[in-house]
A = this chain, B = another copy of it.
Amino acid sequence: MDEFAPRVELPCPFEKIFPSLLVRNDDFYMKLAYNHAIDAWKIDEVPVGAIIEHNGEVIGAAHNLVDSSRDATAHAEILAITQASSAIGDWRLNECRLYVTKEPCPMCSGAAIMARLGEVVYATPDPKMGCLGGATSVHEIPTLNHRVKVRSGILEAECTQLLQAYFQMKRMKEN
């Protein structure tokens, strides 16, 4: 198999959402993250999308690419942090906010702290793997040198449905 051959597009029954560009609120950014999650589904990646916002502008936008890149570090959040850092020329993202469709895993929860993100907003909680309030709360470790604010629940129903439908589809294919 050609390693760099384009992958067949996987049909996704969910439609992208196109919010008004005039209202830049939590809902707006999370909808953009949701659209990236749909793009992940279409190349058969677990549908998680991430957006990084800075002064009302999007400076990072990515989806999960673990299987395509064969690299466990290619989560949406890590890729978006690298983009955002490149955009502002600094690894410190104190003035930035990360929107992500699923509660970050141990790695990405830690990356939010190490990148000194101002805030993380996630849609779907993950009580098994999530580390910003789910399985544990790494952001509350008292000795850390940075405090990241955490909120959740924005566009939760839509992002949860997307994830559940993807895993259901995968299970049906396996049987």
A contact set with B: CB distance below 8 Å: 66-67, 69-75, 78, 81-82, 85-86, 89-93, 105-111, 113-116, 127-129, 131, 135-136, 138, 141, 143-145
Contacts and interface: CB of A to CB of B under 8 A. Distances in A.
Contacts of A78: 73, 78
Contact of A129 (B73, B105, B144): B144
Of the candidates A106, A108, A111, the one having the most CB atoms from chain B within 10 angstroms of its own CB is A106
A110 B106 contact: yes
14 contacts: A70-B90, A71-B82, A72-B85, A72-B111, A73-B85, A75-B114, A105-B114, A106-B106, A106-B109, A106-B113, A107-B110, A107-B111, A107-B113, A131-B141
Given A109-B110, A110-B106, A116 B72 contact: yes
Contacts of A136: 136, 138, 141
